[in-house]
Chains A and B, each alone.
Chain A
Amino acid sequence: MIGNLNTELAAKLAALRDSDGGVSPDDIQNLIDAVMTTAPGDISHDDHALYAEIRSLADAIQRARSEIAALRPQEISEDFIPAATDELDAVVGATEIATNTIMDNAEAIQALTGEMSQEAGEKVEAAVTEIFTACGFQDITGQRITTVVTALKEIEGKVAALLSAFNADFDTSGAARGGKPAEFDESGLLNGPQLPAKAQNQDDIDRIFSGEG
């Protein structure tokens, strides 16, 4: 078969065969296009079948690229997953602070039991012990969240590998997800609590509310 191809195409095939870096989908696509454009006018039945197979392979590659592009994979690895892991880290941080506050105050209450009657002191001690036991939730939730963050980062790595394999240059314009926007779209205002590093505090809110901000 190679004997029927022109010299330039034969050189391309040889270069790919000898390459150490592996063959990318783009390389295959380029090769297929080259084969199809250099096919001689009179081809045998066997050659025709081969070219049909090659064209089918080119179409499959193009469909795969289109389907992957439709998933907007760069949004997954650059926006969604980093945002999710940041939020989960903030959850761990916030629950840790709150838990410490609870335990600090529980200890303060515990320190007062000496000033109570024995019966009251024992009840308070028992209740404070329950509080401390319940605060163990923070450790469990922290471990579960760490598991989720690990899984998300693994997904992020696989998406990045996929982009690399396709030498991706997908549209990242962040176009609307479809549908004509309403005159007033409240959904853009539903963001939940901001991350600690970016959050505005009550003083900031007060300045905005009073028109000073």
Chain B
Amino acid sequence: MAVDMNMRVLIVDDYKTMLRIIRNLLKQIGFHNVEEASDGSAALDVMRNEQIDLVISDWNMEPMTGLQLLKEVRADDSLKETPFIMVTAESKTENVVAAKQAGVSNYIVKPFNAETLKTKLESVLGPF
């Protein structure tokens, strides 16, 4: 099935510059329908009030981290199938294992470029 490039993507990061960078990269790749949130709890509010088709989230945020957000999403019957990509500077093995055990769809370590983001998006959504 072809990837719907109009899907609604939620990007979550407490660093405004990173939100701007990811939004610009998504625009380059072809995703223009982008929503932003500055931490996990704000992201959860968005997800419970709007249709979100993909989450791209940082990990280290307050008051709710990206891992906590992931667990909340996977525990919610109405949200649990949402593709979720972690984009974070946390690069230790135990981080990747914990995220995978929590049900993350893929994991990108910062710093990253547009090509890496596209590759991981395709691994989750299918080729486009």
Contact = CB atoms under 8 A, between A and B. Distances in A.
B82 interface: no
Interface in B59-97: 59-60, 65, 67-68, 89-97
Interface stretch (A16-24, A126-134, A198-206): A198-206
A193 B91 contact: yes
A213 to B, nearest CB: 7
Interface residues of B, number: 23
B24 interface: no
Nearest to A184: B98
A194 B67 contact: no
Contacts, number: 53
Contacts of B98: 186, 189
Contact of A192 (B60, B100, B106): B60
A200 B91 contact: yes
A190 B67 CA distance: 10
A182 interface: no
Contact of A191 (B90, B100, B112): B90
B110 interface: yes
Interface of A: 186, 188-194, 199-202, 204-205, 208-209, 213
Closest CB pairs A-B (n = 8)? A193-B89, A208-B96, A200-B91, A205-B109, A189-B95, A209-B107, A194-B91, A190-B60
Interface of B: 59-60, 65, 67-68, 89-98, 100, 106-110, 112, 116
17 contacts: A186-B67, A188-B94, A189-B92, A190-B60, A190-B65, A191-B95, A193-B91, A193-B110, A194-B91, A194-B92, A200-B93, A201-B91, A202-B108, A202-B109, A205-B91, A208-B93, A209-B106
